[in-house]
Structures are given as structure tokens and as C-alpha cells.
Amino acid sequence: MRQQLPTWQWAKVPSRQRSHRTDPYQPVGTGVGRLAVALLLALLVCGATPSSAQDDDANLPGSSRRIVAIGDIHGAFNGMREILRKIKIIDQRDLWVGGDTVLVQTGDFLDRGPGATKVAELLMALQAEAPKHGGKVIVLLGNHEILNLLGDFRDVTKYIYRNFVDGHSEKRLTVSCNGYSSFYRRLYELRREKPPKRRELVERCLSEQQLGQVEYIEAMGPTGKIGRWLRTLPIAAEVDGIVFVHGGINAEMAEKDLATLNREMHREINSFDRTRKYLIDQDLLLPTSPLADVLSVARQLAKATSSGPSLPPLSSEFLHVLQFSKWLAVREDGPVWFRGYARWTDEEGQEQIPTILERLKADRVVVGHTPQPPFHIRQRFDSRVFLIDTGMLTSFYKGHPSALEIQDGIFTAFYLTKQNLLYAPPTVAMTR
């Protein structure tokens, strides 16, 4: 059952600005949000004082048990269930029947498709159920989960928000918009400018915010059911010498082990959460302010603090947020955004993959993130890399559900109506 929302006033959630651009990462803001930032920053610059895991040890010991990997789902709930049933991971009641199978989902299960939250809930349930039967479910963060954790909801559709609508949603929306209008009127007054009429601000908010949006943002926050779970997930895991990651790991990133990469990502999210909460507590942000505003206010507050000795010193988490552009979470070459394995030429891959695998102490890598027609699971670079994003959300990508099965060194691609052998060790291949 979904948690009831707190009774504190919600503020306006910025209207979604759809963009199918996925990298390089740039936070999305709104015109209204930029206005708020401009007003707040003017006060800060003038010297105003603010008012008063999923464990990292995803590695498993070597064994011959089956591994199944599922790529990007993007809310394709029915497609996900169909392929999991096809490969005998779940039954018709969506209960685990995979025995000691290790199921790995490589991220990007949220956004775009109407079943995004149902996908998350099923993954959470299977993750809890599988160990009772000797199995394990490893769910990784992709770039779209990171976007949600950072408050960037550019690819959350009205159909996803509708899943969070209940009998109190209209009242919450009204409370949210009243809080929004009060916040912005106060900002104008502090600038000694005539504020817009309260009714105008409320109507603007009501026209831009959708029912269920307030509840969705709460659910993705640090105290929300899905948000708490997301914050426990790793960005990379290794099972039986195979590394699983959403986008990929280049040679520079491979100098760090997976545990270090996971710790760094969790530290980034924790720093962001703490900084955002601090700014809200100081009345410098609304509870639902977009990412672009969080970063702008944080930077200007840092500038004001450096020139205003009367202001309290900034925390280490706050200072960490000022290095946002360097974070693993948003770097174009970071593990959740990197596309080199799909885009490198054969020559580039043959040159770099051996070094990467050596540094990772791995035999192969499995990634999602980059769907490519004809939407089949592919092997590259002498079967040392497997690309498993087949555009499962048919309405958006025109692809289809798929899964990669790995057992006894044999890699097989499964689809709803067929299966293809991708790789078998030479000794096995000779007997076939």
C-alpha cells in the first residue's frame, strides 16, 4: 500500500519538458524555476542570510548456476512479464519459479512506459522472494533511475503519474499550488516588486501540474517506498567473472574496482539529498524544485558564503554538490551514460576491451542503454561484450522483449518466439 503523504504544503512541480536526448547530461529547468532562482540569487548576492543497498557485495562466488540478464524495460510491464515467464523465472501469478537462477536487470526500468512503477514493484518483490528458493535478483541503476533520484522527471509521462492518483490527489494539488503561489509572492515582495496576483499563480500551477505528480515525486524521494529502494541499488555488479553495468566502463573508469564505483555513486546521491534538504529547510527551495534550480541556488549560496563571513560554513556534502559536473552520475563517460561498447568501431573495441577486462578482472561485460535496430541481443569484440537493450517498450522504440541466458559458458538470446545461440566455448561448440 502506498504511503500517505505528509501534510506539509507541497509546492508547484515544474511541467515536464520532454526530451529524447539522453547524453551528454544536462539538467532540465523551467521558466518559472529560473525566475525563482534569479530572485533568490539576487538576495544571496546582496548578502542576505538564509533563514533559520542492495549491498556493494553483489559479487557471487563462481558456480555453474544459470544467469539471466534483462536489459532496458522502460515501463514495459507486460513485455517484462512475458519474457520472464518465457524463460521460467516467474509463473502466471508473477511468483518466482527460477530456482537458484541469478537474475540481473541492467537498469532503465523507469520512465516512458505507463507500467514503470509496476515494473519497479515486481523487481522489488522478486528481489525479496528469490533468496527463499536459492536464487538472487540484482537490479542496477541506469541513467533514468539516476534522473529520478536527482529530481529530473523529463521522461515521466502523464500515464505514469496516473498510477499515483487517489481520492486525495485533487486536494494535494490544490495545497501544492497554494504553497507555490505563497512562495513566489514572498520572493517578489523581498525584491520590493509588485507580485502577480495569487489567483494568477495558482491557476498557472494548476494548468501545468498533473494529478499524481506530487505523489510520484514523494515516492521517488529518500523517504518514499521506491525512492528508498533505488538508493540501495548498485551501478555495477560481477557474477561468475561477468561484469554487468548499464552503459559501460571505459579504460579510465576500469582503474577503479566495482565496489569503489558503487560507493562513489552512492556518495553522490547522498550528498545531493542532504544538500537539497538543507536548502529546503532554509526556505531557499521548494520541496519539488527541479534539479537545475537546486544546482543554481547551491552555487550562489556558496558564492555568498565565501564573501559573507557571518554565514555558517558549508558541509562537506554541500561542497561535493558543487563538483556536480564531475560526478559519475552525470558524466558522459560514466558507467550509466557511456555508449562506447555500442558505438566503437571493431578496431577501437579490439584495442580497448582487453585492457578494460584485465583491469576489471573479468572475462566479459554485459550492458544495456543503447537500443539498435533490428533490436536483437548482440555480441561484439570476440564475444567479450554483449549488448542486451532491444527496445522492450514497443510503443516507443519499436523493439521487443528479450533476455540473455548464461549457463555453463553458453550465451543464448531469448525472445518471445525464438532463441539464438550467441556464443559457446570451443569445446562445447564442436559437439553441437
Question: pLDDT over 90 for what percent of the chain?
Answer: 63
Answer whether residue 170 is part of any domain. no
Q: Which of 23-32, 52-61, 405-414 has the lowest mean pLDDT?
A: 52-61
Q: How many domains does the chain have?
A: 1
Answer whether residue 169 is part of any domain. no
Residue 330: the pLDDT is: 94
Answer whether residue 186 is part of any domain. no
Mean pLDDT score, 370-382: 94
Show the 3-state SS of the chain.
CCCCCCCCCCCCCCCCCCCCCCCCCCCCCCHHHHHHHHHHHHHHHCCCCCCCCCCCCCCECCCCCCEEEECCCCCCHHHHHHHHHHCCCECCCCCECCCCCEEEECCCCCCCCCCHHHHHHHHHHHHHHHHHHCCEEEECCCHHHHHHHCCCCCCCCHHHHHCCCCCCHHHHHHHHHHHHHHHHHHHHHHCCCCCCCHHHHHHHHHHHCCCCHHHHHHHHCCCCHHHHHHCCCCCEEEECCEEEECCCCCCCHHHCCHHHHHHHHHHHHHHHHHHHHHHHHCCCCCCCCCHHHHHHHHHHHHHHHHHCCCCCCCCHHHHHHCCHHHCCCCCCCCCCCCCHHHHCCHHHHHHHHHHHHHHHCCCEEEECCCCCCCCCCEEECCCCEEECCCCCCHHHHCCCCCEEEEECCEEEEECCCCEEEEECCHHHHCCC
Residue 61: is its pLDDT beyond 80? no
Residue 308: is its pLDDT beyond 50? yes
Q: Could you tell me the CATH number of the domain that includes residue 271?
A: 3.60.21.10
Structural domain of 277: 29-157+223-432
For 144-186, write each residue's pLDDT tens digit: 999 999 999 999 999 999 999 999 999 998 888 888 788 777 7
Answer whether residue 13 is part of any domain. no
Residue 30: the pLDDT is: 46
Answer whether residue 135 is part of any domain. yes
Residue 50: is its pLDDT beyond 80? no
Residue 51: the pLDDT is: 36
Answer whether residue 68 is part of any domain. yes
Mean pLDDT score, 29-57: 44
Answer whether residue 243 is part of any domain. yes
Give the residue numbers marked as catalytic. 144
For 399-425, write each residue's pLDDT tens digit: 999 999 999 999 999 999 999 999 999
Mean pLDDT of the chain: 85
For 83-112, write each residue's pLDDT tens digit: 999 999 999 999 999 999 999 999 999 999
Mean pLDDT score, 60-88: 90
